[in-house]
């Protein structure tokens, strides 16, 4: 199945893109180079000079434009050539593809497809908590040698926590409590509530940190998916019996895992993730520890996903069996398939 | 030419397979995972969970069953799922391929093809000396990035000893003495006798060790081949004139090189070998030295075979010339071709 | 576009080829092995034994012939088998391809195509200065993972010096002065004259070395191309106003860059280069420094060319724009295309 091009994808963290140094990154199999202009606006150009096909990423920034490192042509953020050394006349074809770029929700987004459809309103609002004043968000990037949908699969069925993350997020409670699945035409929601149990190590540590003591807890996992691969998890624990399910979560630890999953190629993925929280917000040591812990957890997922990817490539078309817990990922996969088919039909 | 699947292949040494730790190994391009059940019986499953295609080798052993490391499904040695975490019902499709496995002649054998044909009687008796009370056998594994038939070629024409193994097995006598070739419908035998000569270094050392002095020797090489790539070499030296050819070999050094050659893929091979002997049987220092020496000799072959493999791949279909000494390997190749064609026709 | 086989290519420096040790090198996708016979004449054989396809380069030299390292067949410089161990009769097919080889102009040339057309008169005379008594020549080899024509492109448009070699050969003068392009049916000449300027660092150093002071200079770049990829650059600087353009260059630094560009495969190139000079000819420290400097400059080109090669492979068939300075390389590319088409038509 072809990659979906007409979509906004996170391409980078804001600090990765500057007016001084080019960032080279491939998005949806399209090599791009990212930089900022004099006003700080981020741009993305095709990583290929229109003259002799030199990667622009082998050039350098000069006056907030890209200098090709071979014969010195210079391009602005719109991809227009603004200088040809040794030649006054700039031919009409002297331009490179510029991809629409928007900076929002603490990330830099790029639209690799038809630029005329790149409406910034389509950038998923579900990621607003990444730079929302009521939340403290920290994050990182995990590079995965696997198809991007395998990460959606992973996040939409958290029974794997009990096995892959048995020392942090997983325990028997995760598999003992059934999921509830809902969906609209363009979203899937998977929900699991675990009442009155001893929470898994990650949450137990955080709840203890907040309360100063161990208590039985109610835990929630509310997974929201929108194609191609935007996934936000409302997660947390609160002391049992305080009405967390009814919305009274303030006495507990309320977190939010934001996942922007961007295909590099059909076989590799830039996985941008963040963990936003409403507890111990000013605790910078906790922020640092959370980055380390979440990175460590996704590193375990990476190993599993890369294993699955290799096996799937060798076994294309062979059936698999489906379990009850797969309902969310199966809905999501059909939704992605529909979007991709629709895009292919309108190409 | 396709690999032959309906055959017993050595997959592992007994000590490599346990009830505690999974062994991942690819046989005939089929990734498998090997382990033992509570009774110690060895099993082989396809290295792919039937649920989300996780390699089972990334899981672990639990209660003498395989726990998939992703969502925790558990499989027994027959490939049957015996547990699905979070779900009572085990659907009928919840099983993975189990390959027939038999432990015999000091090796673990697997049948990668049609399980209904996997008759243990087809395990080649020619390897009986690998754990026979009259012989002491030691061995090892050499991994070769080359087609498995190149190893048969190598063993069926020992003139190469004079060049590749000139410091151990080879000397002028090997090329000066002609071979005799015989065959049935399903075996090839190549024989070379070298009478009354100064033996090559490897044999000279062993004969000296036994006799305490240098003597002129008669040397034999009797190579028995059966498809796909089972090869046993009766080899040895005895003092000249004692009737070794007539069967009186006890005064000399009687050895036996057992070679079970297992395709990993069409381009790589697990080469299991052993050296059994009837001389200095209790000498453990000699056992250790023999492993080192034979491993060193096959390492020289590996380098040659990998060179040939690369050249052959670049030159498919180009003719080669044949020499007198090739007669055995040419018969063997035709035999293998016949078996493969027969298998393809009956698929 | 297929590689041109009916041409002389530099395969090696004379010191790389000996009667004692085989040199393995692939030319135009043909693996070859180079050596010298008892008279010192260089030979090239296909790197594949005609018996079991062992790479001859895994064998060794014996009596100025090649001993195959597998079953010991021996071949002379004409590719004829002269010994088969264990067999008296040498069958008529016991030979390997011998490629025509000529040693001339300080290099060893090979003709990978139809041997009947390998006229030594076709070896390009333009390289005569590599071992001419009036010149001192030093050189080296740069291995490039890129198509060989990208090196021609590079040498035929020196505006890149201002960007890639801005610390050695490049300055503003290079791009400020236009080129003049001439061609015949089988050669292209690109010329650039820069009068009365402060020369680029590389030339400034050399002119200072000769004159003992800085002076304004006239600089020339006269690039001569002949297919497939033979390129000689007359280059140099002389004090302004002494008539360098009219031929009076003795007061300056007269150099000559010889470039023999040999495809290893369609994706990789042996780039043999030399720098011949008529100034400070006996200065061995300068010779050493020139090798280092020119190697460093071509190393910068290598990085650029490999970048271009990768981008081109991903973008086959996509148009590029052409600039005024491309005229020479575009003529050369059409010439190479004509030769290749002609060769394909006559195959």
Q: A86, C303: Cβ pair inside 8 Å? A: no
Domain count, chain A: 2
Read off the tokens for A18: 């500057």
Q: CA of B172 to nearest chain C CA: how many angstroms apart?
A: 9
- Using CA coordinates, name the residue in chain A closest to C177: A86
Looking at the structure, do residues B151 and B190 belong to the same domain, yes or no?
yes
Are C311 and A55 within 8 A, CB to CB?
yes
Question: Any chain C CB within 8 A of the CB of A96?
Answer: no
CA B208, CA B280: separation in Å to the nearest integer? 12
Cα–Cα distance for residue pair B121/B99, rounded to 1 Å:
16
Domain boundary among A120, A138, A163: A120
The pLDDT value recorded for residue C347 is 78
- Inform me whether the pLDDT recorded for B297 exceeds 80: yes
- First-residue to last-residue Cα distance in chain C: 15
Q: Inspect the interface and report whether the beta carbons of B325 and C48 lie closer than 8 Å.
A: no
* CB nearest to A304's CB, from B54, B67, B94: B54
Q: Is residue A312 part of a domain?
A: yes
Within a domain: residue B2?
no
pLDDT of residue B271: 98
CATH of the domain at B69: 2.102.10.10
B150, B151, B152, B154: CA torsion to nearest 10:
90
Do C46 and C81 have their domain in common? yes
Does residue B242 share a domain with residue B112?
Answer: no
One digit per residue, the tens of pLDDT, for chain A of length 347 reads 789 999 999 999 999 999 999 999 999 999 999 999 989 999 999 999 999 999 999 999 999 999 999 999 999 999 999 999 999 999 999 999 999 999 999 999 999 999 999 999 999 999 999 999 999 999 999 999 999 999 999 999 999 999 999 999 999 999 999 999 999 999 999 999 999 999 999 999 999 999 999 999 999 999 999 999 999 999 999 999 999 999 999 899 999 999 999 999 999 999 999 999 999 999 999 999 999 999 999 999 999 999 999 999 999 999 999 999 999 999 999 999 999 999 999 87
Q: Report the pLDDT averaged over residues C261-280.
A: 97
**Do C161 and C258 belong to one domain?**
yes
Whether A311 and B48 lie within 8 Å, measured CB to CB: yes
Q: Which residues from A are below 8 Å from C163, CB to CB? A: 67-72, 85
Are residues B198 and B338 both part of a single domain?
yes
pLDDT given at position B34:
98
Give exposure, A164-189, as e/b (b: 16+ Cβ within 10 Å).
bbbebbbbebbbebebebebeeebbb
pLDDT of residue B2: 86
Q: Domain boundary residue among B120, B155, B180?
A: B120
Look at residue B347 in the predicted model and tell me its pLDDT: 78
Q: Is C93 on the interface with B (CB under 8 A)?
A: yes
**A15 Cα to chain C: minimum distance (Å):** 26
Residue C220 placed within a domain? yes
User: CA B59, CA B77: separation in Å to the nearest integer?
Assistant: 15
Instruction: Report pLDDT digits (tens) over A257-315.
Output: 999 999 999 999 999 999 999 999 999 999 999 999 999 999 999 999 999 999 999 99
Average pLDDT of the residues of chain C: 96
**Residue partners of A171: CB distance under 8 A and separation at least 6:** A162, A197, A198, A199, A200, A201
Name the pLDDT band for C323 (thresholds 50, 70, 90).
Answer: very high
Are residue A153 and residue A108 in the same domain, yes or no? Answer: no
Distance CA C175, CA C163 (A): 10
What does the longest C-alpha to C-alpha distance in chain C come to?
Answer: 76
> What is the C-alpha to C-alpha distance for residues C263 and C9, in angstroms, rounded to an integer?
8
Does one domain contain both A14 and A153? no
A44: in domain:
yes
Q: Determine the residue of chain B that is closest to C72 in CA distance.
A: B163
From A87, B314, B307, select the one nearest C159 (Cα to Cα). Answer: A87
Q: Does C60 touch chain B (CB under 8 A)?
A: no
Reduce the DSSP state of residue A274 to 3 states and report it.
strand
Q: Which two tokens stand for residue B132?
A: 């026979």
Is residue A261 domain-resident?
yes
Q: Residue B136 is part of a domain; what is its CATH number?
A: 3.90.380.10
- C-beta atoms of B87 and A323 within 8 A: yes
For residue range B127-153, list pLDDT tens digits in order. 999 999 999 999 999 999 999 999 999
- A1 lies in a domain? no
Give the mean model confidence (pLDDT) for residues C325-340: 97
Average pLDDT rounded to a whole number, residues C133-139: 98
Identify whether the C-beta of residue A274 lies closer than 8 Å to the C-beta of residue A138.
yes
Are C33 and C44 contacting, i.e. CB atoms less than 8 angstroms apart?
Answer: yes
Contact A310 B55 (CB under 8 A): yes
**Do C133 and C236 reside in the same domain of the chain?**
yes
- Smallest Cα distance from C230 to chain B, Å: 29
Strand partners, B276: B137, B256
Q: Does B321 touch chain C (CB under 8 A)?
A: yes
Q: By the 8 A CB rule, do C70 and C53 touch?
A: no
Nearest CA in chain B to C81: B321
Residues C78 and C150 in one domain: no
pLDDT at A275: 98
Q: Which one of C47, C51, C86 has the shortest CB-CB distance to B320?
A: C51
**Closest to C51 (Cβ–Cβ): which among B303, B315, B323?**
B323
Helices B327-345 + B149-156 axis angle, to 10: 150
Q: CB pairs below 8 Å between A and C: how many?
A: 71
In chain B, what residues touch A324 (CB-CB under 8 Å)?
86-87
Mutate to test the interface with B, among C85, C88, C89 (most CBs of B within 10 A): C85
Phi-psi region of A230 (alpha: psi -120 to 50; beta: other; left: phi over 0): beta
Same domain? A215 vs A297: yes
Q: Backbone phi, then psi, for C275, in 5-degree steps? A: -125, 115
**C45 in helix, strand or coil?**
strand
Instruction: Check if the beta carbon of residue C104 is closer than 8 Å to that of residue C123.
Output: yes
Rounded to the nearest 10°, the torsion over CA B161, B156, B321, C50 is: -40
Residue C179 tokens, joined: 């080129």
Q: Is residue C1 part of a domain?
A: no
For residues C52 and C140, state if they share a domain: no
Mean pLDDT value across residues C181-189: 97
Task: Judge whether C307 is closer than 8 Å to chain A, CB to CB.
Answer: yes
Dihedral pair phi/psi, residue B277, rounded to 5°: -145, 160
Are the Cβ atoms of C48 and B178 closer than 8 angstroms? no
Q: Chains meeting A at 3+ CB pairs closer than 8 A?
A: B, C
Residue in the structure block whose two tokens are 């907030």? A64
For residue B1, pLDDT over 80 is answered with no
* Residue A2 falls inside a structural domain: no
Q: Which residue of B has its CA nearest to C57?
A: B307
| Same-domain check for residues C112 and C147 | no
Last residue of a domain, one of B69, B88, B120: B120
pLDDT value at residue C326: 96
Q: Which domain does C334 fall in, by range?
A: 125-345
**Going edge to edge, which strands form the sheet with C81-83?**
C60-62, C65-67, C74-75, C81-83
- Across chain A, the runs of DSSP E, i.e. the strands, are 9-12, 23-27, 30-36, 42-46, 60-62, 65-67, 74-75, 81-83, 98-99, 101-104, 107-110, 136-144, 180-183, 188-197, 217-226, 230-239, 253-265, 268-277
Cα separation values, A38 from A43, A98, C255, Å: 11, 17, 44
In whole angstroms, give the CA distance from residue C240 to residue C194: 10
CB C199 within 8 A of CB C207: yes
H and E: helices and strands count for chain C: 6, 18
Q: Does the beta-carbon distance from B315 to C48 stay under 8 Å?
A: yes
Give the pLDDT of residue C346. 87
Q: Which two tokens stand for residue A5?
A: 């091009």
Whole-prediction pTM: 0.95
Q: C308 and A54: CB-CB below 8 Å?
A: yes
């Amino acid at each position: 199945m072809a990659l979906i091009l007409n979509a906004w994808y996170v391409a980078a963290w804001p600090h990765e893109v500057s007016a001084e140094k080019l960032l080279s990154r491939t998005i949806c199999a399209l090599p791009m180079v990212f930089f900022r202009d004099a006003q700080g606006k981020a741009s993305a150009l095709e990583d290929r000079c229109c003259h002799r096909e030199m990667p622009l990423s082998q050039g350098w920034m000069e006056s907030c434009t890209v200098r090709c490192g071979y014969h010195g042509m210079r391009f602005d953020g719109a991809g227009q050539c603004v200088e040809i050394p040794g030649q006054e006349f700039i031919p009409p074809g002297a331009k490179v593809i510029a991809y629409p770029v928007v900076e929002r929700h603490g990330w830099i987004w790029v639209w690799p497809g038809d630029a005329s459809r790149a409406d910034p309103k389509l950038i998923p609002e579900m990621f607003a908590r990444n730079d929302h004043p009521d939340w403290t968000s920290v994050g990182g990037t995990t590079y995965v040698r696997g198809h991007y949908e395998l990460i959606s699969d992973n996040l939409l069925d958290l029974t794997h926590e009990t096995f892959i993350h048995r020392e942090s997020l997983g325990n028997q409670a995760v598999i003992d409590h059934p999921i509830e699945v809902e969906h609209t035409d363009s979203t899937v929601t998977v929900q699991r509530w675990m009442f009155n149990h001893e929470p898994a190590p990650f949450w137990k540590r955080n709840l203890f940190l907040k309360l100063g003591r161990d208590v039985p807890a109610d835990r929630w996992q509310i997974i929201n998916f929108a194609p191609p691969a935007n996934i936000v998890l409302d997660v947390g624990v609160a002391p049992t019996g305080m009405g967390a399910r009814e919305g009274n979560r303030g006495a507990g630890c309320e977190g939010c895992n934001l996942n922007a999953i961007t295909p590099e190629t059909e076989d590799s993925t830039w996985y941008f993730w963040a963990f936003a929280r409403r507890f111990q917000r000013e605790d910078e040591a906790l922020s640092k520890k959370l980055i380390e812990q979440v990175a460590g957890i996704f590193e375990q997922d990476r190993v599993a996903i890369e294993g699955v990817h290799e096996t799937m490539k060798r076994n294309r078309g062979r059936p698999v069996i489906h379990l009850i817990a797969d309902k969310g990922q199966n809905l999501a996969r059909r939704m992605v398939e529909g979007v991709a088919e629709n895009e292919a039909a309108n190409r």
